[in-house]
Amino acid sequence: MRIVFMGTPDFSVPALKALVEVGHQVIAVVTQPDKPKGRGKEVQMTPVKIQAMEYGIPVYQPAKVREASFVEVLQGMEADVYVVIAFGQLLPKAVLELPKYGCINIHASLLPKYRGAAPIQWCVIDGERETGITTMMMDVGLDTGDMLEKTVIPIEEKETGGSLHDKLSLAGGALILSTLKKLEEGTLVRTPQTDEGTCYAKMLTKSLGDIDWNQSAVSIERLIRGLNPWPSAYTLWNAKTIKIWSADVTTSREAAAFLSESGVPSETGITPGTVVCSDKHSLVVCTGDGLLSVRELQMEGKKRMDTPAFLRGYPIPEGDVFVKKESD
């Protein structure tokens, strides 16, 4: 089949590689325009563009895919199917109707749950036990088209947004091959989505990582993992921003025993965000419910460190309070 591939970030690359390496005819790649990145603001090509150029596939980078001039370009390609994964633009009806077999999207959740821009991270933040990949026929809605196939991926106890991203990226490459095979054979079954059990995975912002210590230790620990590596969770200490990369939850029973040994009667009355233990090996913070033991952190402008190394350079006294950077 003649395939037009639409994708932009690292997440999309394994799917493109899978299509090419099994012999599918990828006649064109459509990706977002190159953008300046980093401190030097150097213009960088998208990961999908870099991979497409290695394969010698023509690359198109429309600022708006809906523009009539580009719709004409797509029409001239006479593709059988469009494969879309993390492209970054919504496709209008005029584009969706061009390919013979329609447009297939590779979405990083078990639809209809977690429609939207950031399903990977929100699954971790929300404490889901499993997620996966869904291939679906695209329509004009946001991730609302008929479902085709699914792959289930368990979420490990210490899964991060980054580790789950990589697992799902590879799974998407494998699943699209199965979906296209059934499409060619005429055995693909379309299952309409319902709104039952759906939720929307809103776009991530840096401010989402501003830790609210009034939340439970369980919730904060999930937030830390979900936002690792981007945009990351952080807090304010002595007017300096500290990123927290890894932490463990101390259960209520363990917390009571710990506080008793430390001479503190209970969590009640302790301001959430208070450092209740800071020694050579550990940094323990009181939350709205339970204690959080910080394992890895990073002072602004410095490198990531484990807690013992960090405390050697930046001793944090017991009784100091971590606070939100932006007050509500």
| pLDDT tens digits for range 222-261 | 999 999 999 999 999 999 999 999 999 986 666 666 666 6
Same domain as 192, residue 116: yes
- Contact 118/206 with Cβ under 8 angstroms? no
Same domain as 175, residue 217: no
pTM value?
0.93
Q: Which residue has the higher pLDDT, 142 or 313?
A: 313
- State the pLDDT at residue 263: 60
- Contact 13/51 with Cβ under 8 angstroms? yes
* HSE value, Cβ hemisphere, 13 Å, CA-based, for 309: 10
- State the pLDDT at residue 87: 97
Same domain as 156, residue 34: yes
Q: What is the mean pLDDT of residues 280-292?
A: 92
- State the pLDDT at residue 256: 62
For residues 221 and 236, give the distance between their C-alpha atoms in angstroms, rounded to a whole number.
17
Domain that holds residue 33: 2-201
Domains in the chain, number: 2
Same domain as 264, residue 188: no
- State the pLDDT at residue 198: 87
Cα dihedral 48, 204, 63, 83 sign: positive
158 inside domain: yes
Domain boundary among 157, 182, 201: 201
Residue 116 has pLDDT above 80, yes or no: yes
Strand partners, 7: 85
